[in-house]
């Protein structure tokens, strides 16, 4: 019998799920608005009895005005609250990813060494086989099967190695190298790369580039990796026939944004806060490692930006990347 958790379990549970964040409490705020309005409104009755209808009307108009003023401020409070929650979530997300990154790079390091040795031994065995005259092209008895097995082991070792390398990459603390980049061009290069395969499946790529975008100071190869990952995900999400829209735009004075939207399957709400986790994937085993978006998240945070997602099941998904643009420093 297996136990999932509990005090007798061998490994302690690490709880890294985000703690629940309170709803902005919209309804409570609305109640407050009603109360503020009721006060002058209630005064209207005694005023009507004691001082006549004019004063009662006055009280009612005061009530109307306070209803609107209170509504306005309560709306603002609610919005501010919502924004704070979003920031909190982003912070938790980053911390969670940092913790997972730390853990997984440790594991990747540990696994890499034995993996390298297995790989070497496989090569050595292949070499011995060849020396003994039963290399891959001499099907001597059971030896050809032996050879096939060796090749398969080698293949699987390569696969593991790919994963550990991606993991190490994800957790790597290397500082980005910052250069001035024309973001439209960088994105267009990657779009061309995806376009050929997309078109074969009737997926169109639409461009919406803002022409006078300021240069971005960022790490070009890292940013290319992000764009490519997002485009590849979008392409995958569309089964057949659909549109991927790429947009770039200025975002305020010192930032630029780019978006990758698709008309694909969408992401169910319960998965939305998991997609940036390493190893979260809905692809069949062997097809995706679930590291794409976590690598993107890591890169974008390193570049001082942020990445967010908006999705509706059956309609599509939009990823938005926000990056600082230091226009004042010019282009090197």
Ligand X SMILES: Nc1ncnc2c1ncn2[C@@H]1O[C@H](COP(=O)(O)OP(=O)(O)OP(=O)(O)O)[C@@H](O)[C@H]1O
Smallest Cα–Cα separation from 183: which of 86, 327, 16, 84? 327
Q: Does 332 bind other proteins (CB under 8 A)?
A: yes
3-state secondary structure of 261: strand
- β-strand pairing of 179-181 with 203-208: unpaired
Give how far the C-alpha of residue 231 lies from the chain's centroid of Cα atoms, to the nearest Å.
13
Taking the least distance from each CB to other proteins, the nearer of 170 and 276 is 170
In the bound complex, what is the minimum distance in angstroms from residue 191's beta carbon to ligand X?
A: 15
Binding mask 154-183 for other proteins (x = CB under 8 A): -----------xx--x-----x-xxx----
Contact yes or no for 233/274 (Cβ under 8 A): no
In the bound complex, what is the minimum distance in angstroms from residue 294's beta carbon to ligand X?
A: 6
Q: Does 104 bind ligand X (CB under 6 A)?
A: no
φ/ψ of 284, rounded to 5, equals: -60, 155
Q: Does 287 bind other proteins (CB under 8 A)?
A: no
Among 66, 210, 289, 301, binds ligand X (CB under 6 A): 289
Among 290, 301, 304, 327, binds ligand X (CB under 6 A): 290
Binding mask 286-325 for Mg ion (x = CB under 5 A): ------x---------------------------------
Q: How many CB atoms lie within 10 A of CB 330?
A: 9
Q: Does 233 bind Mg ion (CB under 5 A)?
A: yes
Q: How many CB atoms lie within 10 A of CB 324?
A: 16
Residues present in the chain in total: 332
Q: Does 197 bind other proteins (CB under 8 A)?
A: yes
Q: Does 228 bind other proteins (CB under 8 A)?
A: yes
Taking the least distance from each CB to Mg ion, the nearer of 235 and 248 is 235
Taking the least distance from each CB to other proteins, the nearer of 210 and 225 is 225
In the bound complex, what is the minimum distance in angstroms from residue 78's beta carbon to Mg ion?
A: 35
Taking the C-alpha atoms of residue 234 and residue 227, their distance in angstroms, rounded to an integer, is 11
In the bound complex, what is the minimum distance in angstroms from residue 289's beta carbon to ligand X?
A: 4
Residues of this chain that bind ligand X (CB under 6 A): 229, 233-234, 237, 262, 264-267, 275, 280-283, 288-294, 317
């Amino acid at each position: 019998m297996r136990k999932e958790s509990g005090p007798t379990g061998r490994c302690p549970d690490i709880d890294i799920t985000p703690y629940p964040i309170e709803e902005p409490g919209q309804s409570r705020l609305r109640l407050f608005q009603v109360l503020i309005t009721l006060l002058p409104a209630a005064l209207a009755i005694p005023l009507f009895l004691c001082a006549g209808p004019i004063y009662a009307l006055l009280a009612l108009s005061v009530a109307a005005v306070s209803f609107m003023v209170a509504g306005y401020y309560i709306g603002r409070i609610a919005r501010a609250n919502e924004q704070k929650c979003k920031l909190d979530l982003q912070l938790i997300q980053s911390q969670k990813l940092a913790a997972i990154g730390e853990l997984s790079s440790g594991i990747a390091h540990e696994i890499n060494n034995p993996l390298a040795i297995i790989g070497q031994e496989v090569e050595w065995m292949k070499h011995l086989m060849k020396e003994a005259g039963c290399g891959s092209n001499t099907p001597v008895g059971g030896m050809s099967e032996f050879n096939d097995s060796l090749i398969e082991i080698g293949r699987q070792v390569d696969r593991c190695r790919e994963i550990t390398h991606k993991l190490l990459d994800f957790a790597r603390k290397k500082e980005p190298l910052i250069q001035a980049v024309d973001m439209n061009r960088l994105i267009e290069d990657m779009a061309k790369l995806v376009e050929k395969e997309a078109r074969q499946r009737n997926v169109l790529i639409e461009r919406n580039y803002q022409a006078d975008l300021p240069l971005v100071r960022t790490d070009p190869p890292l940013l290319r990796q992000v764009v490519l990952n997002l485009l590849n995900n979008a392409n995958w999400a569309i089964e057949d026939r659909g549109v991927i829209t790429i947009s770039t735009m200025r975002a305020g004075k010192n930032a630029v944004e780019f978006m990758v939207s698709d008309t694909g399957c969408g992401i169910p709400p319960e998965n939305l806060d998991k997609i940036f986790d390493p190893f979260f994937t809905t692809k069949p085993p062997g097809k995706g490692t679930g590291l794409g978006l976590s690598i993107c998240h890591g890169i974008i945070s390193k570049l001082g930006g942020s990445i967010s997602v908006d999705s509706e099941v059956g309609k599509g998904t939009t990823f938005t990347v926000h990056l600082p643009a230091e226009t004042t420093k010019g282009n090197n």
